[in-house]
Amino acid sequence: MKKTAVVTGGAGFLGSHLCDKLINEGMRIFCIDNLLTGSIQNISHLFGEKDFTFYKYDVTNYIHIPGNVDYILHFASPASPADYMHYPIQTLKVGSLGTHKALGLAKEKKAVFLLASTSEIYGDPIIHPQPETYWGNVNPTGPRGVYDEAKRFAEALVMAYHRSHGINTKIARIFNTYGTRMRLDDGRALPTFIAQALRNDDVTVYGDGSQTRSFCYVDDMIDGIYRLLLSDENEPINFGNPEELTIKQLAEKIVAFTNSKSKIIFKELPVDDPKIRQPDIKKASKKLNWFPYVALDLGLEKTIGYFQKITDSI
């Protein structure tokens, strides 16, 4: 008997890579997405698969899926700062009402539930690197609060369903991830810099570029999430690549790797932009035997190649 998985946000960047992974692992997939920030192009290659079904649907409403469901992976949400600040209410609704509906489905189907959580729950961190035991430093009423607090609420709801209803739940705290199928215009630093560099436009670093991030290649991230899904772990787990660099260094790397004539220019730093971020991944290593393998230089090469192809075809 094939296992059945529901992936909300399945037409998004990570959701679509997850659908690929689960199909390759021999599962039947119900992919749900309202296409607010996801895209049909990300999943069109799966439309010929008999085990793949797509529903264009908003998961803040009651979710009906026929038959057995073994796994529910809740990945629906705008995820780039530009997107969630553009869709603040939808972001709050999908993190709260959407998580509630997806958990309701898990309870009904007695399915394993996995929440796509985020490093944003740590806010602008005072502890560095960030272990799972850190409670975070979030401004609830700032512009990023719509995403951060929705995900914090989602985590609380997941743990309540686990404790009260005995559902086998998992929480993946996903740090900055990059790779194929990111939108060129999603506003995040990495795709924005690549798009700007390929066009020889100015590369827009916010602030003085001394803020740090740690970027994980998508294949490593999907591997970690899949390991968590099959594990017996119910507490939150960080996933990310601890290779940390400043945003200015990232911009310089991308300009060099693309042989671009772009100049780096500096713009105002967005409100509440975290100054430092690096995952502590000891827990994932110990509990899931998971490590990210793709170094930033290699992942950037692959991602730049992908974006080059897309921009050539526009």
Residues carrying an active site annotation: 147
Residue 34 is a binding residue for ligand UDP (CB under 6 A): no
Task: Tell me whether the omega of the peptide bond preceding residue 129 falls within 30 degrees of 0, making it cis.
Answer: yes
Residue 213 is a binding residue for ligand UDP (CB under 6 A): yes
Give the residue, chosen from 19, 189, 216, 237, that forms a contact with ligand UDP under the rule CB under 6 A.
Answer: 189
Single-letter amino acid, residue 172: A
Compute the least distance from the CB of residue 80 to ligand UDP, in Å.
Answer: 6
Please report the sign of the dihedral spanned by the C-alpha atoms of residue 88, residue 92, residue 95, residue 100: negative
Compute the least distance from the CB of residue 87 to ligand UDP, in Å.
Answer: 15
Compute the least distance from the CB of residue 19 to ligand UDP, in Å.
Answer: 23
**Bridge-based pairing state of the strands 203-206 and 264-267:** parallel
Beta carbons within 8 Å of 64's beta carbon, 6+ residues apart: none
Residue 192 is a binding residue for ligand UDP (CB under 6 A): yes
- Residue 192 or 258: the one with the smaller Cβ distance to ligand UDP is 192
Residue 36 is a binding residue for ligand UDP (CB under 6 A): no
- Cα–Cα dist 232/168, whole Å: 8
Please compute, for residue 168, the number of CA atoms within 13 A of its CA located in the half-sphere on the CB side. 13
Distances (CA, A) of 45 to 1, 11, 19, 34, 108: 24, 11, 11, 18, 31
Compute the least distance from the CB of residue 183 to ligand UDP, in Å.
Answer: 12
Give the residue, chosen from 100, 168, 273, 287, that forms a contact with ligand UDP under the rule CB under 6 A.
Answer: 273
Q: What stretch of H or E contains 302?
A: helix 296-313
- Residue 99 or 192: the one with the smaller Cβ distance to ligand UDP is 192
- Cα–Cα dist 53/222, whole Å: 20
Give the residue, chosen from 15, 78, 81, 224, that forms a contact with ligand UDP under the rule CB under 6 A.
Answer: 81
> Strands, DSSP E only, in the chain?
4-8, 28-33, 52-56, 71-74, 112-118, 169-174, 177-178, 203-206, 212-214, 216-217, 237-239, 244-246, 264-267
Residue 130 is a binding residue for ligand UDP (CB under 6 A): no
- Residue 108 or 208: the one with the smaller Cβ distance to ligand UDP is 208
Contact letters for ligand UDP, residues 41-80 (x by CB under 6 A): ---------------------------------------x
Residue 211 is a binding residue for ligand UDP (CB under 6 A): yes
- Residue 22 or 189: the one with the smaller Cβ distance to ligand UDP is 189
- Residue 37 or 169: the one with the smaller Cβ distance to ligand UDP is 37
Beta carbons within 8 Å of 55's beta carbon, 6+ residues apart: 30, 31, 32, 33
Contacts with ligand UDP, residue ranges (CB under 6 A): 80-81, 176, 188-190, 192, 204-206, 211, 213, 247, 269-270, 273
